[in-house]
Chains A and B, each alone.
Chain A
Amino acid sequence: MSRRPTCDEAMPRGDGHDAPLVQIGLPTGARSTGFEATRRDVLSLMGFSLGAIGLGAGCRAPVQHAVPLPSASTEMVPGVPNLYATTCGGCGASCGLVVKQRDGRPIKIEGNEASPLTGGGTCAAGQASVLSLYDDARLRGPVWLGNAVSWSEIDRHITTMLGGGGSDRRAIVLLSPTINSPSTRAVLADFRTRFPGFRHVVHDPMSLAALREANRLAFGAAVVPHFHFDRARVVVALEADFLGTWLAPVEFSRQWARRRTADGTRGFHVQCEAGLSVTGSNADLRLAVAPSELGTVAVALLAAVARRVNDAGLAALNATGLGQTAPHAAAIDRVADALARHRGESLVVTGSDDVATQLVVGKLNALLGNIGGADGPIDLARPSLQAQGDDAGVPALIDDMNRGAVSALIIWGANPVYDHPDGLAFRKALGRVPLTISFADRRDETSAHVHALCPDHHFLESWGDAEPVSGHFSLAQPLIAPLHDTRAGAESLLAWAAPAAGAAGAGKPADHRLYLRDFWRRALYPRAATAAGFDDFWERTLERGVVELPGPAVQTHAFAGDWQGAVRDIVTRASRAGTDHGGYELALHETVGARDGRHANNPWLLELPDPITRLTWGNVASIAPATAAALGVATGDVVTLTTETGKLELPAFVQPGQDRRTISVAVGYGRWAAGKAGDGIGANVYPLARVENGVRRYAARVNVAKAGRRARLAPAQTHFSMEGRDIVQSLTLASLEHEHEHEHEELPNLWRERLHGAHAWGMSIDLDACTGCSACVVACQSENNVPVVGAEQVRKSRIMHWLRIDRYFDGDGEDATTVHQPMMCQHCQHAPCETVCPVLATTTSSEGINQQVYNRCIGTRYCANNCPYKVRRFNWHNYTANDDFPYNMTSPLGRLVLNPDVTVRSRGVMEKCNLCVQRVQLGKNQALLQRRPLADGDVATACQQACPTGAIVFGDLADAGSRVSKLLAGRRAYRVLDDLGTRPNVGYLKKIELKEKA
């Protein structure tokens, strides 16, 4: 075709129309000096537009399906949570729980407010235990000699090897931690009927055997008393972390907090310990005492109290002159004063592993009249059943195994290869037993060496019951059908104890639920003294979760222990120890995150910053500042600890408050068969102590040497100074009288007043009641789908916890005092973060909540920069379905724990505490459905619900009658950094100190 004329040719020249009006780069890449509207160009231009449309409208969303149950259930409505009462299996305390279940699976653990013991509180390990249900490391089914088999197959093998009928007297041993479940005790009794050679060895990794032995000698009953810290005006604890990890920390925290009144009835709490524990950090008076000196302190205290009560029988004590040579002599005198003034309402408790020290403390309590009586602080008649470990049991068992006297060993919930000092010997002895069975939920350090793996259910999949304290019962019911082909341990035992085919009662399948129900009907329902039938009683108890059934009291006599012998023993040892000065001592202790090591594969607990060291992902050797200086050791230097029984390398950590002769190390780390997350984290310190005279020791003489290298720690808090700002405020009781009601200094307002809605949500945090236990931190993580980021990211200060508990020290010697301050978004009404967001992704709602809208956020991070409280967290990575972060949000099984009511954030968005707005909205929704107004207390944030002391109170500040309004109008209330004019809706109550800080 003929060529069309170009512009150049068409347009006349010379009159300014030379250059083309428009220069366009065509998609075809053709360069032209003029616009040639050829058909080809038009088509390619249209193609470009169509392509753009294709990009825009051609993006297709994935097809979603809705799959209802084949048969409708009135009980399970999709989207409506169900709450079931059960019992926690996170440690031996057996706290009552109410667990939230969505779509047939448990997603959030809460405390049972009906429990007279815990009152609804939980601990960090308990909150985290929902995640261990969805642990990928769990066994999928029974394993026989390394091969996956069916239950009937493994039962055949086991029943054959367990052998013949009632005439069989060979030893079959069950090794387990404390079992306080009455129905399980009945199962064991049934098992013994079938196998008369059966015996039960109880192994608690952190045991109270010395206390029980002392009580046996002194009172005639080897029991752990039920302690009532709220009935004591003076509490003296010697190496007992009762607020953090000792015996029943949730219950004790609640009791202890009851005594933290702001008036003359306030309790006085003294702590004597080597390492700084959570309890010690909250004591009114803390004395650093090395483990070898604890006995001496107890004797000196006994002597000092004896002088004041003029007990003639104790005159001999004064003659030893021990009072003057004991450490902290002056302080001990003061404490004795306080104790003597409150006879019958004081409590001296010790977790010491030394029977002599326990006897001295027992004598002291008896002298003070603290024991006995239904309302006393120490109840021996209705004792605690939470710690029944027999320390002599495991060494004796190892001997028996080596001698060939054990024909079968069943390990249920115990892991001695890891947590017993003779673990290696145990492992070797295992090989000498013809049949070894483990109910462990994974191939752990011990169960990796047994013949038969018969995995037990997780406690959230189990029926069961518990009797944590004599007369206080709690039931457990499953929240989900077993995820894997596991079987209740009790059912396994019942199956193997079943009568042989042909005998009476044969062929009946062992059903744990039916057995449990039948046991309660026979043994416990008669104690209920109720007119209701058993079925009614059972249903009501299952719903409520807990019930009190008074039972027979334990028979004890008045103190009759050989306390003089104990004192002599302690004095002799002290004088011997006095001659070899210069040595250090190693002290083992539990932490709130790791506990005894059973949760080692739980990423929530691995990343939980320790309340004292603020470290994550590992343990350290805590050393006093003076000692560290003497050794030339700084935080992060690796040191080698050598005791008689073992050697360990750990990074050192300079710890204010640490006793200068003692190095403290947390147990529960250094596992090698816990699972991918926990293996190789930290170091195992259990082998460094030993069993002595049938009692576990948790301290030893140790040599400390520098290993010559450094290790990188993963601290969640790197800045420990308040820089002169009044971030944590405290006052004394005396000055409280003169304190004014909280006066809100009204700075001039630059902003127009916002339209207020019906509510103004706010929160009050009582710094005097907060112990730093960190249950709230894990509860928040569980409720709000907060990701785990791993040690490397924690080092880059990218930890994602919305709620942190800052810890500050005052001083750094042995007398350093500690304060804990939970810090989350303060929900400022004049928020500095809101004014700098370029896209208004963060604004304040009409109800006072500073809201973060994830889908609007573009990740500028200016808001985090501007926040004076540094509470905003940025998603630097996709933490979900990302192999670089192999934790619960990457595993499909682990994702089952996610809360469906809370968005899972992706990379590039900011997140922070939103005062559990999903719970607020749900509360409003429930009120609407029930046609009633929202009442104070209807809505509790996750952190508030978890707190065992009730330090956190959430509510409506627009309602003058709400608890939070009253608290924040009180004399102790203040806002953090309120001189900046941020007007936070979160207020704090000043901590009450014993004396003015210097």
Chain B
Amino acid sequence: MRLRGIVFGFVVLGAGGGLLARGATRIGVHQGYAPEQPIAFPHKVHAGDNKIACLYCHSAARTSRHAGIPSASVCMNCHALLEKQTTAIQRLKEAVQQERPIAWTKVHNLPDFVYFNHSQHVVSGVACQRCHGAVEQMDRIEQAAPLTMGWCLGCHRAEAHVPTSTFARVAANVRGRPTPFAGEDCTSCHY
């Protein structure tokens, strides 16, 4: 009787402690975060059905550390000509007419002490879906990956290792081919 009580107590505590630990280590991890946006923009329609390239709208990802959310003028490149009207498109056109910037809710947020450079990854040939998941199937954008350091390192360690001096110099001399060079140094991302 007492033994049963003790075991039960341990199980509950264990479960509780486990939940606590899981909760504590998941602070700041927002996998599955899919907030409502001011305009219900469906990537499924644009990137999926219409096969618009990611970099058409998120062109900054090619040259900048930020991928950026496109200005409304990029939307209007097409929507100024299209007849299709939905509530979302209506809201977009109102914002454009009133010259009001749209305050999108950022889904993928890294802490301030992390430096992530999109262009480094895009130019090295990492597909957007690798980290952002199957965006072309998402109606509402959801954070597909945990974006934790451990998760980043999984790729950094497997795909592109810290090269030895000889290799790096040889690789660097081969013109025209960007050398995947993911650092494992702390200062690759923390400074």
- A958-B165 in contact (CB<8A): yes
What are 6 A-B pairs at a CB distance below 8 A?
A49-B17, A57-B22, A757-B168, A758-B165, A758-B172, A846-B185
8 A Cβ contacts from A918-940 to B: 918, 921, 924-925, 928-929, 931-934
Q: 1/0 contact trace for B160-190 toward A, CB 8 Å?
A: 0011110011001101111101011111101
Q: 1/0 contact trace for B22-47 toward A, CB 8 Å?
A: 11101110100001000000000000
Kindly report which residue of chain B lies nearest to residue A22, judged by CB atoms. Answer: B6
- A80-B12 in contact (CB<8A): no
- A77-B115 in contact (CB<8A): no
Cα separation A238 to B79 with both chains bound (whole Å): 73
Binds B, one of A40-48, A172-180, A476-484: A40-48
Kindly report which residue of chain A lies nearest to residue B21, judged by CB atoms. Answer: A56
- B73-A71 in contact (CB<8A): yes
- A57-B23 in contact (CB<8A): yes
Q: Does A917 contact B (CB under 8 A)?
A: yes
Identify B115's interface contact among A24, A63, A901, CB under 8 A.
A901
> In this complex, which of B119, B185, B188 has the most chain A Cβ atoms within 10 angstroms of its Cβ?
B185
- B165-A933 in contact (CB<8A): no
- A50-B1 in contact (CB<8A): no
What's the nearest-Cβ distance from chain B to residue A567, in Å?
62
Q: Does B84 contact A (CB under 8 A)?
A: no
- B12-A49 in contact (CB<8A): yes
Identify B9's interface contact among A37, A55, A59, A934, CB under 8 A.
A37
Q: Does A20 contact B (CB under 8 A)?
A: yes
> Which residues from chain B sit less than 8 Å from chain A, CB to CB?
1-2, 4-6, 8-9, 12-13, 15-17, 19-24, 26-28, 30, 35, 60, 63-66, 68-74, 95-96, 99-106, 109, 111-115, 117, 119-120, 123-124, 162-165, 168-169, 172-173, 175-179, 181, 183-188, 190-191
> In this complex, which of A66, A849, A925 has the most chain B Cβ atoms within 10 angstroms of its Cβ?
A66
Q: Does A721 contact B (CB under 8 A)?
A: no
Kindly report which residue of chain A lies nearest to residue B180, judged by CB atoms. Answer: A928
Q: A68-B71, A72-B73, A78-B60 are in contact. Are A846 and B172 (CB under 8 A)?
A: no
B residues near A59, Cβ cutoff 8 Å: 27
A residues near B68, Cβ cutoff 8 Å: 66, 68, 77-79
- B178-A49 in contact (CB<8A): no
Q: Does A902 contact B (CB under 8 A)?
A: yes
| The 9 residue pairs across chains A and B that have the minimum distance between CB atoms | A49-B16, A56-B23, A758-B168, A57-B23, A79-B64, A845-B185, A37-B5, A52-B20, A72-B71
Cα separation A914 to B191 with both chains bound (whole Å): 8
B residues near A77, Cβ cutoff 8 Å: 60, 63-64, 68
Identify A49's interface contact among B20, B66, B70, B183, CB under 8 A.
B20
Identify A71's interface contact among B4, B71, B113, B179, CB under 8 A.
B71
For the complex with contacts A853-B187, A903-B115, 15 further pairs of A-B residues with Cβ separation under 8 Å are: A11-B2, A35-B9, A45-B12, A50-B19, A65-B106, A68-B72, A69-B101, A70-B71, A71-B71, A72-B70, A78-B60, A755-B164, A853-B190, A854-B113, A925-B117
Identify A851's interface contact among B105, B106, B178, B187, CB under 8 A.
B187
Cα separation A11 to B184 with both chains bound (whole Å): 61
Q: Does A21 contact B (CB under 8 A)?
A: yes
Kindly report which residue of chain A lies nearest to residue B191, judged by CB atoms. Answer: A917
Q: A45-B12, A70-B96 are in contact. Are A849 and B6 (CB under 8 A)?
A: no
Q: Does A161 contact B (CB under 8 A)?
A: no
- B71-A45 in contact (CB<8A): no
Q: 1/0 contact trace for A933-967 toward B, CB 8 Å?
A: 11000000000000000000000001000000000
> Which residues from chain A sit less than 8 Å from chain B, CB to CB?
7, 10-11, 20-22, 24, 34-35, 37, 42, 45-46, 48-50, 52-59, 61, 63-73, 77-80, 755-758, 843, 845-847, 849, 851, 853-856, 901-904, 914, 917-918, 921, 924-925, 928-929, 931-934, 958
What's the nearest-Cβ distance from chain A to residue B43, in Å?
15
- A757-B185 in contact (CB<8A): yes
- B124-A928 in contact (CB<8A): yes
Cα separation A757 to B161 with both chains bound (whole Å): 10
Kindly report which residue of chain A lies nearest to residue B111, judged by CB atoms. Answer: A855
Kindly report which residue of chain A lies nearest to residue B1, judged by CB atoms. Answer: A10
Q: A78-B64, A758-B165 are in contact. Are A71 and B16 (CB under 8 A)?
A: no
- A52-B19 in contact (CB<8A): yes
- A68-B185 in contact (CB<8A): no
- A66-B104 in contact (CB<8A): yes
Cα separation A207 to B7 with both chains bound (whole Å): 89
What's the nearest-Cβ distance from chain A to residue B124, in Å?
7
- A64-B106 in contact (CB<8A): yes
Q: A67-B101, A901-B115 are in contact. Are A929 and B26 (CB under 8 A)?
A: no
What's the nearest-Cβ distance from chain B to residue A276, in Å?
38
- B70-A70 in contact (CB<8A): no
Kindly report which residue of chain A lies nearest to residue B171, judged by CB atoms. Answer: A758
- B105-A68 in contact (CB<8A): no
Cα separation A21 to B20 with both chains bound (whole Å): 26
- A845-B173 in contact (CB<8A): no
- B163-A68 in contact (CB<8A): no
B residues near A20, Cβ cutoff 8 Å: 2
B residues near A58, Cβ cutoff 8 Å: 23
Cα separation A173 to B85 with both chains bound (whole Å): 65
B residues near A68, Cβ cutoff 8 Å: 68-72, 101-102, 104
Kindly report which residue of chain A lies nearest to residue B19, judged by CB atoms. Answer: A53
Identify B30's interface contact among A61, A69, A73, A921, CB under 8 A.
A61
What's the nearest-Cβ distance from chain A to residue B101, in Å?
5
- B191-A45 in contact (CB<8A): no
Kindly report which residue of chain B lies nearest to residue A49, judged by CB atoms. Answer: B16
What's the nearest-Cβ distance from chain A to residue B41, in Å?
13
B residues near A846, Cβ cutoff 8 Å: 162, 183-185
A residues near B73, Cβ cutoff 8 Å: 70-72
A residues near B181, Cβ cutoff 8 Å: 758, 924, 928
Identify A56's interface contact among B24, B184, B191, CB under 8 A.
B24
Q: A49-B13, A57-B23 are in contact. Are A757 and B70 (CB under 8 A)?
A: no
A residues near B26, Cβ cutoff 8 Å: 56-57
- A853-B123 in contact (CB<8A): no
- B186-A843 in contact (CB<8A): yes
- B102-A67 in contact (CB<8A): yes
What's the nearest-Cβ distance from chain B to residue A698, in Å?
46
Cα separation A493 to B146 with both chains bound (whole Å): 60
Cα separation A20 to B22 with both chains bound (whole Å): 32
B residues near A22, Cβ cutoff 8 Å: 6, 9
- B115-A918 in contact (CB<8A): yes
Q: A78-B64, A855-B190 are in contact. Are A925 and B120 (CB under 8 A)?
A: yes
Kindly report which residue of chain A lies nearest to residue B118, judged by CB atoms. Answer: A79
- A70-B103 in contact (CB<8A): no
> In this complex, which of B5, B17, B101, B163 has the most chain A Cβ atoms within 10 angstroms of its Cβ?
B5
B residues near A854, Cβ cutoff 8 Å: 113, 190
- A921-B12 in contact (CB<8A): no
- B16-A845 in contact (CB<8A): no
Kindly report which residue of chain A lies nearest to residue B177, judged by CB atoms. Answer: A931
- A933-B109 in contact (CB<8A): no
What's the nearest-Cβ distance from chain B to residue A535, in Å?
27
Kindly report which residue of chain B lies nearest to residue A45, judged by CB atoms. Answer: B12
What's the nearest-Cβ distance from chain A to residue B55, in Å?
13
- A903-B113 in contact (CB<8A): yes
- B2-A34 in contact (CB<8A): yes
